[in-house]
A = this chain, B = another copy of it.
Amino acid sequence: MTQREVKAAVLLIGDELLSGRTQDVNLQAIARFLAPLGVQVAEARVAPDVPEEIAAAVNALRARYDYVFTTGGIGPTHDDKTADAIAAAFGVAIGVRDDARAILEAHYKGAQHLNEARLRMARIPDTAVLIANPVSKAPGFQIGNVFVLAGVPSIVRGMLQDIAGRIEGGAVVRARTVRGRGVKEGDIAEGLARLEAEAPGVSFGSYPWFAPEGFGLHLVARSSDMAALDKARDDLRALIASCGAEPEDVEEA
């Protein structure tokens, strides 16, 4: 029996990602978190700190995919526009919510004041469920199939732990990677296309690398069928060996 494919989209929010100021690392972290749960990231977008853009992207993506994960824009400053944009996308009200306020009150006691700005982080759209933030406490939230996470990578990783139990995955796609030093794409392209044609449940990719010490290829097979995947790895090894190179298995992250 074949399990169904479960697909997700990632929406990275923030002017700093588009200006080049900040190098995103959250897409990769989310994809690697979801893969063993049986969820494949099928699309990603990067949106600026513009509420209408965020809302439009969320609505396009949540209609099309099983899950949507957003990062960024839920802090206390004026450029944090995600919560209001998500509320607008879902057509629900938003305001400071008691459960979120209680978390912040417990955290910001004593020297640090729970001021007006920090209270913005307790603004949660109606019907949303909180996501725990083990790093800096201000929560994320889930509304429908959309998970709204922070932007700081360590907080994203913490929040993902809280939602693992809320994800219903499907078939788990795994990968096998074989490296060939000194092999060029043009030498294996025909053989690789033949493998792809002959193994319907497996997808094959070719990723060249160039470095001061040399060049080569990573050939990757991906499938939810483990027997087919093991055969695919053997086939990739043989393909690289046919170019006169020593095939090297690469450990998956």
Task: Give me the interface of A with B, judged by CB distance under 8 Å.
Answer: 14-25, 27-32, 35, 40-49, 53, 75-79, 108, 112-113, 115-118, 120, 135-136, 152, 154, 173, 175, 177, 184-190, 192-193, 196, 203-210, 220, 222, 253
Picked from B25, B108, B205, the residue with its CB within 8 Å of the CB of A16 is: B205
Chain B residues closer than 8 Å to A31, beta-carbon distance: 18-20
Q: List 23 A-B contacts (CB under 8 A).
A: A14-B205, A17-B44, A18-B41, A18-B42, A19-B41, A20-B30, A20-B41, A21-B220, A22-B28, A24-B27, A45-B46, A77-B189, A77-B192, A78-B204, A79-B196, A112-B184, A112-B186, A113-B186, A115-B190, A117-B185, A117-B186, A118-B189, A152-B209
Shortest distance in angstroms between A181's beta carbon and chain B's nearest beta carbon?
A: 16
Picked from B32, B45, B53, B113, the residue with its CB within 8 Å of the CB of A20 is: B32
A195's closest neighbor in chain B, by CB?
B78
A42 touches B48 (CB 8 A): yes
Chain B residues closer than 8 Å to A75, beta-carbon distance: 185, 206, 208
| Alpha-carbon gap, A42 to B205, bound state (A) | 30
Shortest distance in angstroms between A158's beta carbon and chain B's nearest beta carbon?
A: 11
Shortest distance in angstroms between A68's beta carbon and chain B's nearest beta carbon?
A: 14
Shortest distance in angstroms between A120's beta carbon and chain B's nearest beta carbon?
A: 7
B152 touches A208 (CB 8 A): yes
B27 touches A46 (CB 8 A): yes
Chain B residues closer than 8 Å to A46, beta-carbon distance: 27, 43-45
Shortest distance in angstroms between A28's beta carbon and chain B's nearest beta carbon?
A: 5
A210 touches B154 (CB 8 A): yes
| Alpha-carbon gap, A22 to B22, bound state (A) | 17
Shortest distance in angstroms between A46's beta carbon and chain B's nearest beta carbon?
A: 4
| Alpha-carbon gap, A78 to B193, bound state (A) | 5
Shortest distance in angstroms between A202's beta carbon and chain B's nearest beta carbon?
A: 12
Known: A19-B222, A206-B75. A189 touches B43 (CB 8 A): no
Chain B residues closer than 8 Å to A79, beta-carbon distance: 196, 203-206
